[in-house]
């Protein structure tokens, strides 16, 4: 394999490039990214970056030293437009073509917008990219009222950041509780308590009917399905993300809410692997930071081997910082799991300052763990779960000082 | 020189966070005492809450790992070292000698 092209220059794309070099690939390495920026870390965008100084540097994932040591051709600010496997070519939106022997699909996902009138009014934001975060941050100085549509991770963290800046915030969540799909009703109720504790109004169980604009084309309110109208100068829409697979239409790769691949990240074509938010690995598409950093090691091993030599058995892990509380979750939760608070206490459904640790139990065994501000016991249970599951993927080939 | 706690109060495998500016984490790694900057160089997390194994501490947020002896990261996502600080025990009390603000990062 003489040329490998990594399509996507965010977290999983960078990790794929690192793994290629760490695993001995010394051929031509091309990295294509649709954003003009070098790889940066997205999690801070809804947290500290949003509340930080206007001239704050983006949360870079790499530095000059590593950038040159990777010895890659970076094509940034250009979208990939197509993949032609028989021709071994990646087509770029500016008309260029990259001839390549192997391809890593790492194109991530795009924030979903509100599919309704008013979705494109000025003052309506999504938050996924650095440019999104900069645009939102610049507007957070205007007017006092914010509405966040969607009580998931992005929505909750953004609401928390706005509250920290002193704004009045209302979160609208269509489900009965925020994060209920991810955490189950017991712990989702705790998250609802965090919103309340943070002084944010939480409206659940109702959807958004439309956005109301001023004559000048700026948003000034959110109309709910139940008829209520919430005035707002800034609306942040956090209703999930769609995998960026459009450029792969017609490539013969199987696409179904992501690029289908086996549990070694290998697609139907052995010279094409997929990682990160765009990849449906062994039937699951996980939009988790840790998945994006763990999958490339296995994917690159299999790409260089030419077949699925290694398989991932990940233990899902994610975290969220909201209202001064750090939520960490690991494991496989199923509806019906019994949730038991094993350390700390909840008062009126809300944790105190010392946090708590909760175990999701099934048939007498721990299946998942959630903690708020209890990182040590959380790590212990997470490691036990990973051990019990024979989880593979936590170790990277790349050493921090490899450059 | 900053007093931390009694040596008896920091048994092997334990760690403690010192509220200096910036905060420092002190570890008892199988009888050897080490002090490093407490905040992970990758993102905001307290290494004193990390997972201690031998001379390595793993960050509780993203599993970056640091060698307590030199402060160097041994795996991603951290790429920069944490500062190390000298530790002494006087009259049964652990003391940290803060490294100078500059020039001591490994």
Structure confidence by residue, pLDDT tens digits, A105-147: 999 999 999 988 888 899 999 999 999 999 999 998 767 899 9
The answer to whether residue B72 neighbours chain A at the CB level (below 8 Å) is yes
Q: Is B76 on the interface with A (CB under 8 A)?
A: yes
Q: Does B53 fall in a domain?
A: yes
Whether B71 and chain A come into contact, CB under 8 Å, resolves to: no
Task: Determine, yes or no, domain membership for A24.
Answer: yes
Residue among A246, A330, A244, A236 nearest A288 (CA): A330
A43 in B contact zone (CB under 8 Å): yes
Are A11 and A93 found together in one domain? yes
> Do residues A9 and A76 both lie within one domain?
yes
CA–CA separation, A223 and A229 (whole Å): 5
> Is there a single domain that holds both residue A103 and residue A245?
yes
Given a contact cutoff of 8 angstroms between Cβ atoms, the answer to whether B10 and B24 are in contact is: no
A272-274, strands of its sheet edge to edge: A73-76, A28-33, A3-7, A102-105, A272-274
Q: Are residues A330 and A221 in the same domain?
A: no
Which residue among A201, A218, A237 closes a domain? A237
Q: What is the mean pLDDT of residues A267-280?
A: 97
Asked whether residue B103 is assigned to any structural domain, the reply reads no
Measured in angstroms, the CA of B37 and the nearest CA of chain A are apart by 18
The alpha carbon of residue B5 is apart from the nearest alpha carbon of chain A, in Å, by 20
Q: Which domain holds residue A383?
A: 324-389
Q: Is residue B104 part of a domain?
A: no
| Residue A157 placed within a domain | yes
Q: B-chain residues within 8 Å CB-CB of A400? A: 64, 72-76, 78-79
Ramachandran bin of A108, using left for φ above 0, alpha for ψ from -120 to 50, beta for the remaining angles: left
* Chain A interface test: which of B38, B40, B49 (most A C-beta within 10 Å): B49
Strands (E), A293-349: 317-322, 325-331, 338-347
Q: What is the CATH classification number for the domain harbouring A344?
A: 3.30.390.30
Q: Helices A153-164 and A180-197: crossing angle, nearest 10°?
A: 10
The position carrying tokens 């017609």 is A250
Q: Is residue B40 part of a domain?
A: yes
CA distance B32 to chain A (A): 21
* Residue among B58, B75, B78, B106 with most chain A CBs within 10 A, to mutate: B75
- Kindly state the helix (H) or strand (E) to which residue A366 belongs, with its residue range: strand A365-372
Query: Measured between CB atoms, which of A319, A379, A400 is closest to B73?
Result: A400
Interface test with A, best of B40, B48, B63, B69 (most A CBs within 10 A): B63
Question: Are B77 and A61 a contacting pair at CB < 8 A?
Answer: yes
In a domain, A70, yes or no: yes
Q: What is the pLDDT of residue A392?
A: 57
- Domains in chain A, number: 3
In the DSSP assignment, the letter for residue B7 is G
Residues A259 and A229 in one domain: no
State how far the Cα of A210 lies from the Cα of A225, in Å rounded to an integer: 8
> What pLDDT does A399 receive?
62
Rounded Cα–Cα distance for residues A28 and A40 (Å): 23
On whether residue B106 sits in a domain, the answer given is no
Give the distance from residue B93's alpha carbon to the nearest chain A alpha carbon, in angstroms.
Answer: 25
Query: Does the CB of B23 have a partner CB in chain A at under 8 Å?
Result: no
Q: Are residues A98 and A140 in the same domain?
A: no
Q: Are A127 and A210 found together in one domain?
A: yes
In this structure, are A178 and A102 located in the same domain?
no
- Return the HEC string of B38-84: CECCCCCCEHHHCEEECCEEECCCCCCEEECCCCCEEECCCCCCCCE
Give the one of B51, B73, B79 whose C-beta lies nearest to A379's C-beta.
B51
Contact A403, A396 (CB under 8 A): no
Mean predicted confidence (pLDDT) in B42-60: 96
- In terms of pTM, does the model score above 0.90? yes
> Would residue A314 count as lying in a domain?
no
Considering its fold, how many domains does chain B have in total? Answer: 1
B49, closest residue in chain A (CA to CA): A376
CATH number at residue B20: 2.102.10.10
User: Does B13 fall in a domain?
Assistant: yes
> How many Cβ pairs within 8 Å bridge chains A and B?
55
Per-residue pLDDT of A214-249, as tens digits, reads: 989 999 999 999 999 999 999 999 999 999 999 999
Say what the pLDDT of residue A396 is: 52
Give SS3 for A387: helix
Residues A190 and A95 in one domain: no
Average the pLDDT over each of A24-38, A132-146, A198-212, A242-256 and give the range with the smallest value: A132-146
Instruction: For residue B97, report the phi and psi dihedrals to the nearest 5 degrees.
Output: -105, 105
In percent, the amount of chain A with pLDDT more than 70 equals: 97
The verdict on A66 touching B (C-beta cutoff 8 Å) is yes
Domain boundary among A237, A260, A279: A237
Q: Are A333 and A360 in contact (CB under 8 A)?
A: yes
Full domain range(s) for residue B75: 2-97
Chain B neighbors of A48, CB-CB under 8 A: 44
β-bridge mates for residue A109, sequence order: A243
Question: Has residue B62 been placed in a domain?
Answer: yes
Residues A232 and A247 both lie in one domain = no
In a domain, A38, yes or no: yes
Number of H helices, E strands in chain A: 8, 25
Q: Do A117 and A231 have their domain in common? A: yes
Last residue of a domain, one of A220, A237, A254: A237
Task: Identify whether residues A131 and A229 lie together within a single domain.
Answer: yes
pLDDT, tens digit, for every residue of A284-330?
Answer: 999 999 999 999 999 999 999 999 999 999 999 999 999 999 999 99
Chain B contact probe: residue of A63, A315, A400 with most B CBs at under 10 A: A400
Peptide bond before B22: cis, by omega within 30 degrees of 0?
yes
Write the CATH number for A252.
Answer: 3.50.50.60
User: Dmax of chain A from CA atoms?
Assistant: 63
In a domain, A174, yes or no: yes
> How far is it, in rounded angstroms, from Cα A174 to Cα A171?
10
Any residues with CB less than 8 A from the CB of A110 and at least 6 apart, and which?
Answer: A128, A241, A242, A244
């Amino acid at each position: 394999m003489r040329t490998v092209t990594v399509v996507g220059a965010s977290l999983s794309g960078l990790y794929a490039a690192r793994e290629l070099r760490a695993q001995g690939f010394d051929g031509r390495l091309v990295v294509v990214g649709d954003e003009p920026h070098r790889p940066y870390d997205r999690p801070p965008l809804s947290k500290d970056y949003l509340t930080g100084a206007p001239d704050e540097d983006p949360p870079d994932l790499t530095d000059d030293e590593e950038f040159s040591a990777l010895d890659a051709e970076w094509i940034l600010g250009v979208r990939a437009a197509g993949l032609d496997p028989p021709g071994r070519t990646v087509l770029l939106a500016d008309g260029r073509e990259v001839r390549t022997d192997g391809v890593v699909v790492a194109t991530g996902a795009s924030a979903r917008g509100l599919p309704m009138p008013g979705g494109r009014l000025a003052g309506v934001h999504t938050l996924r990219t650095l440019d999104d975060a900069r645009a939102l941050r610049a507007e957070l100085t205007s007017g006092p009222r914010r509405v966040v549509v969607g009580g998931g991770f992005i929505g909750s963290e953004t609401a928390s950041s706005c509250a920290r800046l002193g704004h009045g915030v209302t979160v609208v969540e269509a489900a009965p509780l925020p994060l209920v799909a991810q955490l189950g009703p017991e712990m989702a109720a705790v998250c609802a308590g965090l919103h309340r504790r943070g002084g944010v109004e939480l409206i659940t169980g109702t959807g958004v009917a439309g956005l109301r604009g001023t004559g000048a084309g700026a948003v000034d309110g959110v109309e709910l399905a139940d008829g209520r109208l919430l005035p707002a100068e800034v609306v942040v829409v956090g209703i999930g993300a769609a995998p960026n697979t459009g450029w792969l239409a017609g490539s013969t790769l199987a696409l179904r809410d992501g690029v289908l691949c086996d549990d070694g990240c290998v697609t139907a074509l052995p010279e094409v692997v997929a990682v990160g938010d765009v990849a449906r690995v062994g039937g699951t598409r996980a939009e988790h930071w840790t998945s994006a950093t763990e999958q490339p090691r296995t994917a690159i091993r299999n790409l260089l081997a030419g077949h699925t030599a290694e398989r991932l058995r990940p233990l899902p892990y994610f975290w969220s910082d909201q209202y001064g509380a750090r939520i960490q979750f690991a494991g496989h939760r199923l509806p019906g799991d019994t949730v038991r608070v094993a350390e700390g206490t909840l008062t009126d459904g809300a944790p105190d300052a010392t946090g708590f640790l909760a175990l999701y139990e099934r048939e007498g065994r721990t299946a998942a763990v959630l903690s708020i501000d209890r990182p040590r016991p959380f790590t212990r249970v997470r490691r036990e779960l990973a051990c019990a599951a024979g989880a593979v993927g936590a170790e990277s080939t790349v050493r921090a000082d490899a450059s | 020189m900053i007093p931390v706690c009694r040596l008896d109060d920091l048994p092997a495998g334990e760690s403690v966070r010192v509220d200096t500016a910036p905060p420092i984490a002190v570890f008892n790694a199988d009888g050897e005492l080490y002090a490093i900057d407490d905040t992970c160089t990758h993102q905001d997390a307290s290494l004193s809450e990390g997972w201690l194994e031998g001379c390595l501490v793993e960050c509780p947020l993203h599993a970056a790992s640091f060698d307590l002896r030199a402060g160097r990261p041994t795996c991603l996502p951290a790429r920069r070292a944490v500062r190390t600080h000298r530790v002494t025990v006087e009259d049964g009390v652990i003391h940290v000698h803060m490294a100078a603000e500059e020039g001591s990062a490994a």
